Amino acid sequence: MSVTIYDIAAKANVSIATVSRVFNNHARVSPRTRARVLAVAEELGYQPHASAQSLARKKTSLVAAIIPMMTNYFFVEVIRGLQDRLAESDLDLIVYSTLTLNEVDVQLERALQRGLASGVLLFATPMTPARVARLQRSSQPVVLVDSFHADFDCVSTNNREGGCRAVQHLIDRGCTRIGMIMAHPESLPAADRRIGFEQALRQAGLPLREEWIVVSEDMKQHGFTEEAGYQAMKTLLARRTRPDGVFVTSDLQALGALQALHEAGVAVPDEMALIGFDDIKISRYVGLSTLRQPMYEMGRVAVDKLLGRMEQPERPTSHTVFSPALVVRRSTAGEQAQEKGFLAWPLDHT
């Protein structure tokens, strides 16, 4: 049924070794033979057998990406970056997406199966000692995206800086009572963003009031959901005094928060300004100010690192940090927003 190098060898009157050499550009094949083999292969419609190649070469052409919360559209762009860069190196991408972080370990186990992928991209996953150990035991090339551990190559955004700039922006626009809605603190990005938040307040000499900080203890997607944001804002609104500016650890949560604000009839940004993090596509439509992560680029860089390590397993690990860019929209700047947002609010008959 399917054509193997044996078939080609027989028909071209050469040995299978020669056929293999032709396909691997392994020099030392006379032009005549090469041409003949190629012709026969073409005629027979030969295609190398991926598993057999992997077995013989002791490496595969697959890379695994483990992506918790893929519904967070942040990752879609990153995947595109991965995909594009991988294709250039003739690698394919296996995607493991999970809804909760517990599933990550199950998927990780699958992704690390011997002889499956020749590298792993692990997204937004806190590096517990158990995970570190598991990864090291596998001795596979690994790149952490949106997470950090000194023993691995990492790509991430400067979350502290982002948090800091978000708050500075709120201050610049005149906010003095600044609060925060935070995802589960086990999430490193969330924790770092909070550090930046606190730092900026300190620098500006503004009060840091616990009353204005709401932390989502919800484990589902680490609290990076609209629902969590919605609940958090409700909680915040119920407090005795309210902040006049809130930094939210992700756009997704911020959307939920906006909903809560609207239901409560709070004017944004006049009564309360809001700024998120990520710059997912939706944010543009709703005019949410945020800190943009260079998602596509992060994907590409992650693959670069992985390829680098695949070639030189012993090279020192490195950590690439992208600076998030402030995007000012209506949720902090009102009608004066530089970037008006695509979809105008008064879409209807105001």
Say which entry of a copy of itself, DNA, none residue 26 contacts (CB below 5 to 8 A, set by partner kind): DNA
The interface with a copy of itself within residues 246-285 (CB under 8 A) comprises 255, 258-259, 261-262, 267-270, 281-282, 285
Query: Which one of 42, 57, 219, 313 is in contact with DNA (CB under 7 A)?
Result: 57
> Per CB under 7 A, which region of 9-17, 67-75, 82-90, 121-129 contacts DNA?
9-17
What x-and-dash track marks residues 109-148 binding a copy of itself by CB under 8 A? -x-xxxxx--------------------x-----------
Helix H or strand E segment including 64: strand 62-68
Q: How many CB atoms lie within 10 A of CB 63?
A: 26
How far is residue 203's CA from residue 64's CA, in Å, rounded to a whole number? Answer: 42
How far CA 298 is from CA of 122, 310, 319, in Å, comes to 13, 18, 12
Per-residue 3-state assignment (H helix, E strand, C coil) for 239-262: CCCCCCEEEECCHHHHHHHHHHHH
Rg (CA), the chain: 26
Check residue 323 for interaction with DNA (CB under 7 A).
Answer: no
The interface with a copy of itself within residues 146-175 (CB under 8 A) comprises none
How far CA 48 is from CA of 66, 187, 215, 224, in Å, comes to 28, 43, 53, 44
Check residue 13 for interaction with DNA (CB under 7 A).
Answer: yes
> In the structure encoding, which two tokens stand for residue 73, read together?
């559209």
Check residue 4 for interaction with DNA (CB under 7 A).
Answer: yes
Task: Find the shortest distance in angstroms from Cβ 149 to a copy of itself.
Answer: 22
Total of chain residues touching a copy of itself, rule CB under 8 A: 63
Task: Find the shortest distance in angstroms from Cβ 162 to a copy of itself.
Answer: 23
User: What does the DSSP assignment read for 90-111?
Assistant: T-EEEEEEESSSHHHHHHHHHH
| Amino acid in position 284 | R
Task: Find the shortest distance in angstroms from Cβ 64 to a copy of itself.
Answer: 8
Say which entry of DNA, a copy of itself, none residue 17 contacts (CB below 5 to 8 A, set by partner kind): DNA
The interface with DNA within residues 31-50 (CB under 7 A) comprises 32-34, 46-49
How far is residue 121's CA from residue 294's CA, in Å, rounded to a whole number? Answer: 17
Contact 60, 116 (CB under 8 A): yes
Check residue 51 for interaction with a copy of itself (CB under 8 A).
Answer: yes
> In the structure encoding, which two tokens stand for residue 179, read together?
């609060």
Contact 96, 109 (CB under 8 A): no
Check residue 235 for interaction with a copy of itself (CB under 8 A).
Answer: no
Interface positions with DNA (CB under 7 A)? 2, 4-6, 13-18, 20-21, 23-24, 26-30, 32-34, 46-49, 52-53, 55-58, 114-115
User: Which residues contact a copy of itself by CB under 8 A?
Assistant: 2, 45, 47-55, 60, 62, 70-71, 73, 76-77, 79-80, 83, 92-97, 99, 110, 112-116, 137, 226, 255, 258-259, 261-262, 267-270, 281-282, 285-287, 330-331, 334-335, 342-350
